[in-house]
């Protein structure tokens, strides 16, 4: 089991009812929780080194896996656009 860590802006984004439709928010939160059990689920893509992306409907979860510390850090949740994957290394 991995420890989950959320960037402050991710927490705020998920808690803002105006930012996400309720159904999408529930699916994203469920996907993030599942990362604690399997940090590299089917459908995840490796972006760089230990940085991965996971698709949840029209949204992307960008996260870092630290196997030594058994931790998953979610750095960004964003709607899929050109800049979604930009500057991913600076998130962690």
Read off the pLDDT of each residue in 54-83 and give the average, rounded to a whole number.
Answer: 92
Q: What is the CATH number of domain 3-84?
A: 3.30.2310.20
Average pLDDT rounded to a whole number, residues 14-29? 91
Q: Kindly report, residue by residue over 34-63, the tens digit of the pLDDT.
A: 999 999 999 999 998 999 999 999 999 999
Q: In this model, does residue 74 exceed pLDDT 70?
A: yes
Confidence band for 81, pLDDT divided at 50, 70 and 90: confident
Beta-strand ranges (E) seen in the chain are 3-6, 45-48, 51-56, 59-66, 71-79
Token reading at 33: 């929780």
Give the residue extent of every domain in the chain.
Answer: 3-84
């Amino acid at each position: 089991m991995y420890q989950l860590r959320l960037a402050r802006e991710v927490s705020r984004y998920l808690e803002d009812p105006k930012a996400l439709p309720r159904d999408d928010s529930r699916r994203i939160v469920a996907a993030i929780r599942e990362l604690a059990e399997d940090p590299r689920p089917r459908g995840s893509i490796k972006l760089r080194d230990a940085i991965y992306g996971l698709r949840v409907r029209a949204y992307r979860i960008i996260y870092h896996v630290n196997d030594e510390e058994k931790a998953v850090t979610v750095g960004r949740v964003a709607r899929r656009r050109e800049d979604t994957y930009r500057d991913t290394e600076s998130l962690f």
